[in-house]
Amino acid sequence: MLIKKSAVELGQLIAAGEVSAVEVTQAHLDRIAVVDDRVHAFLHVGSGSALEQAAAVDARRAAGETLGPLAGVPIAHKDVFSTHDMPTTAASRILQGWRPPFDATVTARLRAAGLVILGKTNMDEFAMGSSTENSAYGPTHNPWDLTRIPGGSSGGSSAAVASYEAPLATGTDTGGSIRQPAAVTGLVGMKPTYGGSSRYGLIAFASSLDTPGPFARNVLDAALLHEAFSGHDVMDSTSIDAPVPSVVAAARQADVAGLRVGVVREFSGDGYQPGVLARFHEATELLESLGAKVVEVSCPAFDYALPAYYLIAPSEASSNLARFDAMRYGLRVGDDGSRSAEEVMALTRAEGFGAEVKRRIILGTYALSSGYYDAYYGKAQQVRTLISRDFDAAFEQVDVLVSPTTPTTAFPIGERADNPMAMYLADLCTIPSNMAGNAAISVPCGLADEDGLPVGLQIMAPVLADDRVYRVGAAVEKALEDRWGGPLLGKAPQL
């Protein structure tokens, strides 16, 4: 079946002329038609546009043009990236039906690489959440168990790849929104170094944290997608003017002999599901058996990353979301000629923003207000500096750090909906890498004993050492697939 093949395999088949890009695209559109009413991974499926894109790839190849390794391969695109030919809503009512006049840089680079954009995926509204339950258009379901969450905020992307609706997907990671969904759906999810992938055309949540990255079913596929859309962008003032690390070569190397691996002491113990810790400890033992030297490393400031994040990110969100004012684009409520602009803004925001978005705007506005700025936002930024220093000190001792990606497996839909603090704890292990801006990846490391659901291993490396996490991730993947007799996703119940 075409839908079960990796992105690399599909690219090779298309390049060899054994199958056309149109046939591959149609196979995935057919799969979406069969399963997405249950998964709800997509907010918009652009069938006609996707087939046109695929036909254009086939025509270019027939004309003798040399194309990249992912040309003709379908991809699901998170609905936070601007697309001129499809709605871009960030899963919010306030942007319902909005079509941007331009493409995000990531979108433009996907098109340039010949990838076929199938449609836009569901997400937590404005990327604020860890379960995709905060979408204004309803929750996405985990393909492993449709009663459970697929992670968030990029849960539509993770569910699309895990349910074979697409071989690849894009996501954004502000506090773990790629790695955590990847972990709970048995996928590979990568947060590149901050500034390594462009934010231009990305609807902003927290500008100093947001990072586009790839989802895939294996490490090499993720590396190829990473290289396809990353790199310096003059349109993004935070973009790093440096070459993209050789992540594809590292993914093909898959060797950890002699590598120093640090286990983060702070990411274990109370609050962690026993099955998650069991799979994590097995993964570290596996790394030792492959020739790595594993030691324990303490990063004490990591204990304060979660509260610091939930001051910094909402503060930036309260500023970024001020642009949704009902005056220029998007939803407009109460504009009957009898109300002032201020009243229309208030009515529109009240109806257009969901509860979690309102909660974070209020929290951020409070943290930035006169008399509280130094006590809250300023202190949180000082904690951020301490987290970066802990990373620096750790990477003087080891080459990479490892931890569970998230403390638990996928929880039931609705279980934490009324408990924001419990929801926020899903990002406990992932947030430090966002605060410091370094590279981090999640790769599958088995199934928890309690519920048979996927567990993720998080691998963290220094800034601009993205290739290092792919090298380690590929080695773990190969060894575990040899042990399991194939990819972890093959153990998922079939939809």
Q: Which residues are catalytic?
A: 78, 153, 177
Q: Is 306 helix (H, G, I), strand (E, B) or coil?
A: helix
Angle 267-273-278 (CA atoms, 0-180°, nearest 5)?
A: 80
Residue 176 — φ and ψ, nearest 5°? 135, 15
**How far is it, in rounded angstroms, from Cα 14 to Cα 69?**
9
Task: Give start and end residues of each alpha helix (H) in 230-273.
Answer: 247-253
C-alpha distance across the termini of the chain, in Å: 15
Alpha-carbon torsion, ordered 340, 345, 351, 353, to 10 deg:
-170
Distance of CA 304 to the CA centre of its chain: 23
Closest CA to 36 of 165, 136, 184: 165
User: With helix as H, strand as E and coil as C, how does 325-391 read?
Assistant: CCCCCCCCCCCCCCCCHHHHHHHHHHHHCCHHHHHHHHHHHHHHCCCCCHHHHHHHHHHHHHHHHHH
Four-residue CA torsion sign, 60, 64, 66, 70: positive
Please list, residue by residue across 247-283, b when 16 or more beta carbons sit within 10 angstroms of its beta carbon and e when fewer do. Answer: bbebbeebbbeebebbbbebbbeeebbebbbbbbebb
Q: Which residue type does 279 have?
A: R
Helix (H, G, I), strand (E, B) or coil at 400: strand
Cβ-based neighbour number of residue 142 at 10 Å: 32
Exposure of 29 by Cβ count < 10 A (0-12 exposed, 13-18 middle, 19+ buried)? buried
Contact 254, 94 (CB under 8 A): no
- Pairing type for strands 439-447 and 74-78 reads unpaired
| Token digits of residue 411 | 């929880």
The whole-angstrom separation of Cα 201 and Cα 489 is 32
Specify the residue for token string 């697939």: 481
Residue 293's SS3 state is: strand
Joined together, the tokens standing for residue 480 give: 């575990």
Give the separation between CA 49 and CA 327, rounded to whole angstroms.
31
Which residues pair with residue 78 across a beta bridge?
Answer: 121
| Pick from 212, 37, 27: nearest CA to 140 | 37
Distance CA 193, CA 212 (A): 10
Based on the number of CB atoms within 10 Å of its own CB, is 17 exposed (0-12), middle (13-18) or buried (19 or more)? Answer: exposed
